[in-house]
Amino acid sequence: MKIPRGKVKTYLEVAKAIRKPKAFRAVANAVAKNPYPPKIPCHRVIRSDGSLGGYSGKGGLQQKRRLLKLEKILIK
């Protein structure tokens, strides 16, 4: 919820923000279990290489791409 509209963070950045820099995979797993996408904006979390990663919401990666595009975020 702390990632503002129009911004993204990587799984690693989120892990570092919670002071668990080695827990980036745990962050990815937690994000994948988000029961309220896009209300809880897990679509704003991406992989360190700049790619999308996954999306647990209805519509999968296509929907994640659409949501990010609506926020003017371009991802490879």
Active site members: 42
User: What backbone phi and psi angles, to 5 degrees, belong to 56?
Assistant: -90, -10
Centre a 10 Å sphere on the Cβ of residue 59 and count the other Cβ atoms it contains: 13
Rounded Cα gap, residues 15 and 28, in angstroms: 9
